[in-house]
C-alpha cells in the first residue's frame, strides 16, 4: 500500500517509513485544535474547527498539492478526501448535554484545506443536527482519535473560543485529563502496528474536555 493510500484510509495514519524506529509509543501523529462555538438566534448551532497537523502528518498532503493555488481544484479534491474520512468518524467528536449525546448533521456547510508554512490546516463547520438552547445550559464536548494513534489537543485553553455575542452570557473552559500510570504504560507499549481494544476507548482517556456553561 502506498503512503498516499495509507493516509487516505486511516486519516493521517502514516506508514512506518515516515517514523524513526525508536519512536514506539502512541501517539504517532499530532493535530492542534482551535474550536469556536457557533450560534444563531440565541441557540447553539455548531462548532467551527481548525485542525493544524504536524509537519510529518502534513507531508503527503502538501506533496500532493504541489504548487497548486489555494482555490485550485487540487486543494478542493484533497479537502473532500480528508473531510470524507472525518465524516466517517463522526467528526472525531463527541458532544454531550444533560448526559445525552447531541447528534450532528453529516453534511458540513463549509470546509477547506490549506497550507500554512510546512503544515496542512483543515477548517470546517461541525453542524448540530438541531439547534440547542443556551440559556442556563451546560454542554461538554471532546475531539479525539479513539485509537490514540493521533493526539488531538488544544495547545492553550484559549483555543476553545466563544463568539463576542456570548462573552457576557457564557464561559468556556478546557479540562485536561490525567490518565493513571497503567493507562500511560499501556499507551507507551503500543507500536505503530498495534491497536488498543475498542472497548478500552484509549483515545477518550487522553481527550481534553471542553465545557460550555451559560447563565
pLDDT, tens digit, 9 for 90 and up, residues 31-63: 999 999 999 999 999 999 999 999 999 998 999
Identify whether 27 is preceded by a cis peptide bond (ω within 30 of 0).
Answer: yes
- pTM, entire model: 0.83
Average pLDDT over residues 7-28: 44
Alpha-helix residue ranges (DSSP H) falling in 34-180: 55-65, 73-88
Amino acid at each position: 500500500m502506498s503512503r498516499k493510500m495509507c493516509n487516505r484510509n486511516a486519516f493521517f495514519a502514516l506508514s512506518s517509513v515516515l517514523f524513526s524506529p525508536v519512536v514506539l509509543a502512541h501517539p504517532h501523529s499530532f493535530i492542534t485544535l482551535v474550536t469556536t462555538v457557533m450560534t444563531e438566534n440565541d441557540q447553539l448551532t455548531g462548532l467551527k474547527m481548525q485542525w493544524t497537523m504536524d509537519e510529518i502528518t502534513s507531508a503527503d498532503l502538501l506533496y500532493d498539492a504541489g504548487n497548486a493555488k489555494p482555490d485550485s481544484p487540487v486543494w478542493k479534491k484533497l479537502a473532500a478526501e480528508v473531510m470524507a474520512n472525518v465524516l466517517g468518524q463522526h467528526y472525531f467528536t463527541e458532544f454531550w448535554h444533560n448526559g445525552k449525546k447531541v447528534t450532528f448533521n453529516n453534511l458540513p456547510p463549509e470546509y477547506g484545506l490549506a497550507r500554512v508554512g510546512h503544515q496542512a490546516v483543515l477548517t470546517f463547520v461541525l453542524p448540530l443536527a438541531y439547534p440547542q438552547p443556551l440559556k442556563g445550559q451546560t454542554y461538554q464536548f471532546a475531539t479525539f482519535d479513539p485509537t490514540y494513534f493521533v493526539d488531538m489537543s488544544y495547545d492553550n485553553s484559549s483555543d476553545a473560543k466563544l463568539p463576542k455575542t456570548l462573552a457576557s452570557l457564557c464561559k468556556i473552559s478546557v479540562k485536561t485529563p490525567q490518565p493513571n500510570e497503567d493507562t500511560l504504560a499501556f499507551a507507551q507499549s503500543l507500536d505503530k502496528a498495534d491497536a488498543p481494544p475498542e472497548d478500552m476507548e484509549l483515545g477518550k482517556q487522553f481527550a481534553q474536555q471542553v465545557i460550555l456553561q451559560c447563565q
